[in-house]
Amino acid sequence: MPELPEVETVRRMLEAHVVGRTVRAVRLSGLALREPVSRGLARGIRGRSIRGMSRLGKFLIFELDEGLTLLSHLGMSGRWLFSDGERVEPLPHVHARIGFADGSTLRFQDPRRFGLLRLVRAERLARDRAIASLGPDPIASPPTGESLRARARGLTASVKSFLLDQKKIAGIGNIYASEILFRAHVDPRRRAGALKGAEWDAIAAEISAVLNEAIARSGTTFSMYRTLWNEPGEYGDQLRVYDRAREPCRTCGTPIRRIVQGQRSTYFCPRCQSRKAAPTG
DNA sequence: ATCCTATCCTGTAGGC
DNA sequence: TGCCTACAGGATAGGA
């Protein structure tokens, strides 16, 4: 569900509201997420204070004292929700409830349980199996056309699946992959290894533009995603193609097409994203 | 190595 | 109203 802009929105809010707080109590649901949540996790973070919040691709990293980090992934339906007051309204599907010493509460809610909570020693984080395989983060290191072209050399899979591959570049998901390719005027069905330098240049520029614009609007709420305050993101009305099958292209009026690639929906304009179209930039 | 499929899980929307 | 199917922002294991 949440892609880089949504995760970055949550990171910024956590940085503003939970950094500096000390964990007093932890309650776990006991249900497995993507992997079982270790019993040692509750013990490990109790008494720790949160020193910082970082992000790599779609992973959130709570930097704790004592050389510990809490690695978190929202999967398809995960949310971190913060409550400042005394009263915390009951919610279903809460898998971790962190009570702070000052009485505030942070909860991890995840109905589909594809998320991840893992306690990792800070010095081992870069070698953690979830983190070690990630490609570069496009906010920390903005991609260049040449860097993308080098990573795609020889690949026969589609450019859409290339953008979704977290080993190639970390943080892009199904919504922004379609949006980026539309704005770069590239057909999502093209083989990644066959794109020209100018096409990679356009894709690199649109990766940065789309992600930064979405961050500025607190991300996209398609259905489940919410910010730390349970508010929706505001990028939804900026979407050019995602979830717009049969609706007119905002540029040329041609009906937007939906196709399936790797069991995921892809949306594109068959006219603006064809090689015959004259890109207008 | 790369590519593709199936799988994990719950909620929701739409057709009948 | 209920029942059914399809689909949903993700990652990964396993086989070709």
In angstroms, the CA A190 to CA A158 distance is: 5
A153 is catalytic: no
**Amino acid identity of A278?**
A
The predicted pLDDT at position A281 comes to 47
DSSP A151: H
For the question of whether the overall pTM of this predicted structure is more than 0.95, the answer is yes
The predicted pLDDT at position A193 comes to 98
* Given the residues A24, A112, A217, A264, the one annotated as active site: A264
A195 touches strand B (CB under 7 A): no
In angstroms, the CA A149 to CA A137 distance is: 16
A94 touches strand B (CB under 7 A): no
Identify the three-state secondary structure at position A175. helix
A263 touches strand B (CB under 7 A): yes
Taking only the tens of pLDDT, chain A with its 281 residues reads 699 999 999 999 999 999 999 999 999 999 999 999 999 999 999 999 999 999 999 999 999 999 999 999 999 999 999 999 878 999 999 999 999 999 999 999 999 999 999 999 999 999 999 999 999 999 999 999 999 999 999 999 999 999 999 999 999 999 999 999 999 999 999 999 999 999 999 999 999 999 999 999 999 988 778 888 988 999 999 999 999 999 999 999 999 999 999 999 999 999 999 987 766 54
Query: CA-to-C1' distance for A276 and B9, Å?
Result: 43
* Tally of CB atoms within 10 A around A260: 8
* Given the residues A11, A48, A55, A58, the one annotated as active site: A58
Terminal alpha carbon distance of chain A:
29
A2 is catalytic: yes
Query: CA-to-C1' distance for A261 and B6, Å?
Result: 15
